Chain A
Amino acid sequence: MPDVLELVGALPTPQWGAWEPLALSLLTAGAAALILAAVAAWQGRAPARPFALAALAAGVSGQAALFVSLEQPLRAYEFFLHPSFTSWTAAGAYIVPAFLACALLLAWRTRAPGSAGRLPAVAALAAGIAVFVYAANEIMACLGRALWTGPLVPPIFLVAGLSGAVGLAACLAGSSRLTGALARTLAGYAALAVAGCTVLAAILPPPPGFAGAVSLWWRAPEALCLLAAVVALAGWRRPGLGIFAAGLAGLAGDFLLFWKLIQLGQAFPRAAATVADKAAFLDLFTFPSLLAVAGIGGLLLALAALLPRVLPQKPLSASQGLRYAAKEPS
């Protein structure tokens, strides 16, 4: 008996759009960054600042992508007008704003190194974890999408988020002359994380019954991830552009892993066996998708430029400078 039974037919190329993968990649990156910022802030370590800024920038961008992807964006207010906790979507309506508030608080409190305070750190830690739980469950609740319910989904969210977080933090740290060594360290972690994204994308299996139906395009996201990992590994030790390249590679790994999960996950239809993996992958290079990526990239860039100005870092006192120098990774 064949595994694949066609129900619908060879359909025209589907159009999915890039906003949902962008939203998930940035929200998870923000959540991971906030968790790392909270840990660092608890310990009074230097990475708290770039991670807090990364959390805020990624969170705002992710929320924006989520908002843009909605058919009726204004409907979001109804979650607050008529509170409901019956679905993960409803829960997300409260979790994401809480997460943004925590990120803002931590970014504010880390203007001066070492002064974040433990309560904001604990709140930020909880908010970051909540975003991970919400985002992963929002996807896993879609039982009709076989790829979204497997055991690899939670690790994918975690590794993708870490990759985006350290990548964005590396970029932010790299833009500051004061944190060159930290930036290099973050870039190194970004290289490791994007390598992790590559591995996860590669081992993510097609749903049962579709294994024989997928083409080489199923492997395209990990191929690009691998390329990003190579760039990151080549660049992380090099100051300036090298660090930026590694940081961007981390963000790319985050996004590409979600592209595989979300976009190629939809290539396995619920009522047919037409595996549109090629169309799903190549949707990345359509004008609307490229515009969405460019738009969110632009928003991230703007936030990276504006946030340090809106939330400027306070000058170090002599004692703080000594402590900070002692704890900074080499």
Chain B
Amino acid sequence: MNQSPKTQNDVAPDQGKRSLLKKGAAVAGLGLFAAASAGAVVKVANGLLRGTAGQALADPINKNSLEPEYRVDASGAVAAGKGQRVAFNQCWGCTTFCGVRLHIDEATDTVTRVAGNPYNPLAHERHFSMDTPVEEALRRLSADKDEGQPKRSTTCGRGAAMVEASDSPFRITRCLKRAGKRGEGKWKTISFEQLVAEVVDGGDLFGEGQVDGLRAIREAKGPANPAMPEFGPQANRLLLTYAVDDGRENFFFKRFGQQAFGTKNFGKHGSYCGLSFRIGSGLFIDDLKTNAHIKPDFENCEFAIFWGTAPSQAGNPFNRSGRMLAAGRADGKLRYAVVDPVLRLPASSAARDRCHWVPILPGMDSALAMGMMRWIFDNERYDKGFLSRPTLAAAQAAGEAGFCNATHLVQLSGPGAGKLLRASDMGLAAPAAAKDAAAKPGNAPAAEDAPMVMNLAGEAVPAGGCPEAALFYRGELALPDGRAVTVATALTLLREEAQGRSLEEYATLCGVPAAAVADLARELTAHGKRAAVDVHGGMMSTSGGNATFTVLTLNTLIGNINAKGGIATTAGSFHGAPAQKGPRYDLDSFPGMIEPKGFPAIRCRAPYQKSTEFKQKSASGQNPYPSELPWYPLTPPNMPGEHLLSHANASPFRYKCWINWTGNVIYGHGGLKRAVDKHLRDPKDLPLIVGIDTFHNETNAYADYLVPDPCMYEVWGGFSSAWAGVLTKMSTARWPAVAPRQEKSAAGEPVCMELFCIETAKRLGLPGFGDQAIPGADGTLYPLHTPQDYYLRLAANVAWFKGQVLPAPSERDVALSGIGRILPDIERVLPPQERGPVAAVYSRGGRFAPYGASYEGEAVKARWERPLQVYNEEAAQAINSQTGRRYGGTPCFKPPLLTDGRGLREVWSEGEYPLLMTSFKSSLINSYSVVSERLLAIKPVNMVMLHRDDAARLGLAHGDLARVVSPAGSAQARVVVGDVIMPGVVAVEHGFGHTALGAADVEIDGRLIRARRQAAAGFCLNDLTPPDPTRKGASTLLEHEYGSAARQGIPVRVEKV
């Protein structure tokens, strides 16, 4: 280091400059840092002023985390947490209504956490037996002896998160009366008593003129429409709609609406949810009355095809299916395919090679199913042993667990064309043993008359006397009167239908390669009866009913009904039909009960041929077909969408009052809002609308009055069961585990749907309510003044089911199950001998048969004993009111069609709308869960998915803003691009795009509740559903034969924004 010496004059200025620069740099640097960290200073200040976490800490280590609901000590003893209790109840997060275990903070009387009820099969694959003490159940769920993990009982993410809904600012807690125009969202509070009085008595309620109340509607004389008297009396101008069968529906529509008031017109959400699927199931399983359906026996199944459904993504039972799917692929032999236009959670990497995805064009499911059938027939891979048994007795003798009508002969000519050939047609008396076995229960003519089959010797014989019949036959038979009739077996007709096209043609139609069709059929037929085809709500195309029937018929071909590892229906419940009648109380009927009269206004399960329109057209020489509006001969009369369309079309009449309890048809039904909005906004058009609900939703936004209904776990209710997929009897109880938050009546009872019905009925003087309402087994008439007067008596019937009385719970059971708050009600309503068994029901969250009751040898214990329908005679007899043609009894390929039978693509060409829009369900957000901020924080907007080839053609990249344009309108969304969707398809996740449920301002007594922007996120594909141009009047796109809502396969185009 050799530096030259410097003079002071040389150095000083340089050092001074450097020093100044350094000081300047230091000051500037610190200034910059201060500016950048100002936010932290604010946080520190907040921390100092409000505590380090904004609130005082309860514990230095655990901070403010929840107090455990209970603790288990080293000896295994269970002690409730300090100020906490547990309760077993019914979930509210979707329509599965799983059993849940609530963690309740006693100081605030709020539910702080939700998990699964281990007694309930919907929350546990191998649920605990009812005789397991609550203490033991809680111990098994804890970490004690490491049992907690293998024995865990869960609820899904939505069920766990929805608990916060009870605090939503958009919850209805007071009785409200419209203060502005319809749909403006302005309300004023009124008393419950005033609300009931105005709804019953009517008057100039809004300064807009006279409004008829329920009394005037019910007491008006004459038919609702004198020009069409077949639609019944004036009382039918009351429309009742509700959401789902959650255990309270019987009280609402059956007891109040039908048996007491006497209206024929009610609707529920199924028609805009999975009705196409349910009707298709009914066709398949021979149950068009209740449309029962099947689910795979996950535990023993080796190969399943999930078709238009996705366990662990959606479907029903959602929670249980997801758990069993995971267990089946991890621990069992389960392999599965998911047939769906969109790839969803069941096909995640967790499934490894156990799963494969079969992308398909929306609405073309019947093409794939027929292609598979073609391969199965060509290669003779069907179950001959199962198909050839013409009766249940023959099937059981052959070791089969169920049977079908594959061998039954169908008349193809003559006056009986379309009907099965029966013994009476041949002049033969059916053997007595065959009558019940082969006939359809509930069908009187069939019960006396066995179907004919061809025996192996080639002779036509009654089914009852034939242990094994010919599978295939087509020919002529001589009738006793000398006429010849062409007949064929049901299976012959199905084979001919399948062989009507080549495998390649079917493959082209559905977009699945022919080799993949063959592989799917090969795999399905390679596991004997341990395979299943499962369908659910994804069949919402305009031909979804037939598609479901066709797809499910694949099960028939492998003979898997009731078989271990095959398919099964529900095992039933403890609260169903028998329990409604007794043994303790008759809740099914009461003195003075009436029967509603007339055809349903929506022309369901009613013969068009007996209508005034048909008669008048026929009499004047006109062709009676098509009818003005479509009739639905096979559809249950509960479609609120069609109710409102009929109202808009004033056919057969306009309603005078609509009471909607929790349903949200305006949001949930494709294209309905556009079709009926102006009618609902006009009080002169529909004078009185009453909404009974927990939240302000899109439908009750039109209401004149709003009645608050309890939320979540505050509710007295009945019981719910598994839709299917549970092999043991079960009834999940709903009871108020915490106090209701809504206002009370003058008598001190929380206002709710039931109280509205009770007080309205009492004011109207209707039977079945009030002092002498419920017949007891001892002949006494018991009062019905509160919900618990009804539901606790239903619980007594459940506890006494078929004489198998539940033992009273122990004191520990009562203490640890949180039922203490309802014991006073139990004591007030029930006699001493019923209190213990009823308390036992609530202490376990319901009544459940033990897991061990699931199987019997190689079959399930709860068996479906009607014939699977290779040919559905009831459908084959029904006539399409638009075309005049019969529906057809054989599963077949049918593309998406419009009401008049034209194809969608004939009206909306591929040139203009090259893509097809389909929906899929979110695993977290359903149609009402946007009330949960927690769920929206995880999933803030819906997915709109596009295949990468389509995206490339349109110049769109992942995350780009695009416009989806349908014949009805357009919506913008950011697109998710990938190879997780069928090319040519746009998939929209359902549950978003709300205009209520927090997405719109609400004003009550001048106080504004501001909308939350997040609740309006995304768009709802229902807004893009077009009207049906082939149908007269107000319309929207519907299943063309059954009238349910259509949500899949809507023609659209996508444009870059």
The answer on a CB contact under 8 Å between B37 and A295 is yes
B33 touches A302 (CB 8 A): yes
Please report which residues of chain A, range 3-38, place their CB below 8 angstroms from some CB of chain B when the two chains form the complex.
3-12
Cβ 8 A contact of B40, one of A4, A67, A209, A274? A67
In the bound assembly, the distance between CA atoms of A304 and B22 in angstroms comes to 9
Give the Cβ gap from A14 to chain B, nearest Cβ, in Å: 11
Min CB–CB distance A317 → chain B (angstroms): 14
* Contact status of A294 and B28, CB under 8 A, knowing A72-B47, A78-B52, A82-B61: no
**Does the CB pair B978–A6 fall under 8 Å?**
yes
Contact status B47-A4, CB under 8 Å = no
CA distance A209 to B989 in the complex (A): 23
Compute how far the CA of A297 lies from the CA of B1 in the bound complex, rounded to whole angstroms. Answer: 32
- Closest CB in chain A relative to B59 CB, distance in Å: 10
A2-B343, A300-B29 known; A305+B36 contact, CB < 8 A: no
Q: Point out the residues of chain B lying under 8 angstroms from A300, CB to CB.
A: 29
Q: A72-B43, A72-B47, A305-B26 are in contact. Are A297 and B980 (CB under 8 A)?
A: no
Q: A216 within 8 Å of B by Cβ? A: no
Taking CB atoms, residues of chain A closer than 8 Å to B978 are 2, 4, 6, 273
A-contact 0/1 string along B25-65, CB 8 Å cutoff? 11111111111110110011001100011000000110000
> Which residue in B29, B958, B980 is a CB contact (below 8 Å) of A302?
B29
Chain A, 128-179, CB within 8 A of any chain B CB? 178
Asked if A73 meets B44 with Cβ closer than 8 Å, knowing A8-B938, A295-B32, the reply is: yes
* Residue pair A297, B32 in contact (C-beta under 8 Å): yes
A67 surroundings in chain B (CB, below 8 A)? 40
A178 to B2, alpha carbons, bound, how many Å?
Answer: 11
In whole angstroms, what is the CA distance A260 to B945 when docked?
28
Residues from chain A with a CB closer than 8 A to the CB of B47 are 72-75
Q: Which residues of B contact A70 (CB under 8 A)?
A: 40, 43
How many residues on the B side are at the interface (Cβ–Cβ under 8 A)? Answer: 53
Smallest CB–CB gap between A134 and chain B, Å?
A: 20
Q: Which residues of B in the span 335-379 have a Cβ within 8 Å of any Cβ on A?
A: 343-345, 347-349, 355-357
Interface SS of chain A: helix
Given contacts A74-B44, A271-B938, A301-B29, contact A295 B36 (CB under 8 A): yes
* Closest Cβ–Cβ distance, residue B595 to chain A (whole Å): 50
State A20–B245 Cα separation when bound (angstroms). Answer: 51
Instruction: Identify A321's interface contact among B1, B344, B347, CB under 8 A.
Output: B1
Are B25 and A5 closer than 8 Å at their CB atoms?
no
Which residues on the A side are within 8 Å of B349 (C-beta)? 1, 3, 5, 209
For A209, list chain B residues within 8 Å (CB): 349
Interface: A84 (CB within 8 A): yes
Across the interface, do B940 and A11 meet the contact criterion of CB distance under 8 Å? Answer: yes
Chain B residues, Cβ within 8 Å of A6:
943, 945, 976, 978, 980
Query: Are A305 and B32 closer than 8 Å at their CB atoms?
Result: no
Contacting A at CB under 8 A, from B447-471, are none
Partner of B30, one of A12, A84, A292, A298: A298
Is A105 interfacial (CB 8 A cutoff)? Answer: no
With beta carbons under 8 angstroms apart, the residue of B25, B60, B344, B979 that contacts A301 is B25
**A1-B357, A10-B943, A78-B52 are known contacts. Are A296 and B976 too (CB-CB below 8 A)?**
no
Q: Is the CB of A292 within 8 A of B976?
A: no
Which one of B30, B344, B345, B944 has the greatest number of beta carbons of chain A within 10 Å? B30
Contact B36 A294 (CB under 8 A): yes
Chain A CB within 8 A of B23 CB: yes
Contact, CB under 8 Å: B53 / A299: no
Shortest distance between the CB of A55 and any CB in chain B (Å): 18
Output the nearest chain A residue to B957 by Cβ-Cβ distance: A215
Cα separation A306 to B27 with both chains bound (whole Å): 10
User: Do most interface residues of chain B lie in helix, strand or loop, or is the interface mixed?
Assistant: mixed
Residue of A nearest to B60 (CB): A82
B51-94, CB < 8 A from A: 52-53, 60-61
User: Does B975 touch A at the CB level, under 8 Å?
Assistant: yes
Chain B residue at minimum C-beta to C-beta distance from A9: B943
Interface residues of B in 945-986 (CB under 8 A from A): 945, 958-959, 974-976, 978-980
A311 at the interface (CB under 8 A from B): no
Give Cα distance in the complex from A295 to B30, angstroms.
8
CA gap between A205 and B627 in the complex, in Å = 66
Indicate if A211 sits at the interface (CB-CB under 8 A). Answer: no
Asked whether B117 is an interface residue with its Cβ less than 8 Å from the other chain, the reply is no
Q: Mark B760-787, 1 if CB is under 8 A from A, else 0.
A: 0000000000000000000000000000
Return the chain B residue nearest A6 by Cβ.
B976
Closest chain A residue, CB of each to CB of B28 = A298
A64 and B939 CA atoms in complex are apart in Å by: 34
A291 at the B interface (CB under 8 A)? yes
Q: Which residue, of A70, A72, A81, has the highest number of chain B Cβ atoms within 10 A?
A: A72
Question: Does A199 reach chain B (CB closer than 8 Å)?
Answer: no
Closest chain-A Cβ to B338's Cβ sits at a distance in Å of: 11
Does A241 sit within 8 A of B, measured CB to CB? no
A1 to B978, CA, bound (A): 12
Is A119 part of the contact surface with B, judged by Cβ < 8 Å?
no
Find chain A residues with CB under 8 A from B37 CB.
Answer: 64, 68, 295
Cβ contacts A55-69/B at 8 Å (1 or 0 each): 000000000100110
Question: How far is B939's CA from A9's CA once the two chains are assembled, in angstroms?
Answer: 8
Chain A residue numbers with a CB within 8 Å of B43 are 70-74
Chain B, range 255-280, C-beta contacts under 8 Å to A? none
CB of A325 closer than 8 Å to a CB of B? yes
Q: In the assembled complex, which residues on chain B have CB atoms less than 8 Å from the CB atom of A8? A: 938-939, 943
Residue of A nearest to B19 (CB): A309
CA distance A10 to B989 in the complex (A): 12
Give B351's nearest chain A residue, CB to CB: A1
* A229 shortest CB reach to chain B, Å: 26
Residues of B with C-beta under 8 A to A213: 958
Shortest B1033–chain A CB gap in Å is 37
Q: Chain B 582-607, CB within 8 Å of chain A: the 1/0 string?
A: 00000000000000000000000000
With known contacts A73-B47, A291-B35, A301-B25, A68–B40 Cβ distance under 8 A = yes
Chain B residues with CB under 8 A of A72: 43, 47, 52-53
A299–B943 CB distance below 8 A: no
Interface residue B942 (Cβ < 8 Å from any Cβ of A): yes
**Which chain A residue has the least Cβ–Cβ distance from B960?**
A10
A26 to B323: give the CA distance in the assembly, Å: 46
- Known interface pairs A1-B356, A10-B974. Does A274 touch B32 (Cβ–Cβ under 8 Å)? no
Interfacial chain B residues near A306, Cβ < 8 Å: 26
A78 touching B980, Cβ below 8 Å: no
Bound state CA distance, A75 and B64, in angstroms?
14
Smallest distance from the beta carbon of A81 to chain B beta carbons, Å? 7
- Which of chain B's residues have a CB closer than 8 A to the CB of A3? 349
Interface centre among B25, B32, B35 (most CB of A within 10 A): B32
CB–CB A274/B958 < 8 A: yes
Q: In the assembled complex, how far is the CB of residue B800 from the closest CB belonging to chain A, in whole angstroms? A: 47
The answer to whether A178 and B943 touch across the interface, beta carbons within 8 angstroms, is no
A81-104 contacts to B, CB under 8 A, are 81-82, 84
A155 to chain B, nearest CB (A): 28
Q: Which of A64, A84, A291 contacts B61 (CB 8 A)?
A: A84
Shortest CB-to-CB span from B743 to chain A, Å, is 39
Whole-angstrom distance from the CB of B350 to the nearest CB of chain A?
A: 10
Interface pairs A-B: 7 shortest CB-CB: A295-B36, A298-B32, A302-B29, A298-B29, A301-B29, A10-B974, A9-B943
Which residues in B have some Cβ–Cβ distance to A below 8 Å? 1, 22-23, 25-37, 39-40, 43-44, 47-48, 52-53, 60-61, 343-345, 347-349, 355-357, 923, 938-945, 958-959, 974-976, 978-980, 989
- In the complex, 29 of the A-B residue pairs with CB atoms within 8 angstroms, ordered by the A residue number, are A1-B357, A2-B980, A4-B980, A5-B348, A5-B349, A7-B345, A10-B941, A10-B959, A12-B940, A71-B43, A72-B52, A73-B43, A74-B52, A78-B60, A82-B60, A213-B958, A274-B958, A291-B36, A294-B36, A295-B33, A296-B33, A298-B29, A298-B31, A298-B33, A301-B28, A302-B28, A302-B29, A302-B33, A305-B29
Which A residues are closer than 8 A to B by beta carbons? 1-12, 64, 67-68, 70-75, 78, 81-82, 84, 178, 209, 213, 271, 273-274, 276, 291-292, 294-306, 309, 321, 325
